[in-house]
């Protein structure tokens, strides 16, 4: 959960979004499913030739499996 290059887990926008998506969910599996479902439906599936970055992916709203994983 610690921030790393391309994974800005301490970024307020990402934290607020994640908290909003899991709000009211007490079960870890249910919360995880909410995050996975949101990423799957939010991001357009599109091949990219870039280094994945969570914030850039959120802003672009599209990416391949690497962008999906980095945003999740």
Q: Looking at residue 66, what is its pLDDT?
A: 94
Report pTM: 0.87
Dist CA 65 CA 46 (whole Å): 9
**Residues of the chain where predicted confidence (pLDDT) is lower than 50:** none
- Spatial contact of 43 and 35, defined as CB atoms under 8 Å apart: no
- Spatial contact of 59 and 50, defined as CB atoms under 8 Å apart: no
Q: Looking at residue 17, what is its pLDDT?
A: 97
- Encoding tokens for residue 50? 């870039």
Dist CA 6 CA 70 (whole Å): 7
Q: Looking at residue 1, what is its pLDDT?
A: 76
Q: Looking at residue 50, what is its pLDDT?
A: 82
- Spatial contact of 25 and 31, defined as CB atoms under 8 Å apart: yes
């Amino acid at each position: 959960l610690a921030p790393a290059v391309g994974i800005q887990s301490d970024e307020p926008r990402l934290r607020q979004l994640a908290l909003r998506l899991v709000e009211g969910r007490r079960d870890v599996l249910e919360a995880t499913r909410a995050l996975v479902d949101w990423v799957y439906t939010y991001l357009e599936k599109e091949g990219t030739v870039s280094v994945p970055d969570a914030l850039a992916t959120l802003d672009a709203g599209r990416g391949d499996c690497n962008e999906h994983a980095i945003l999740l």
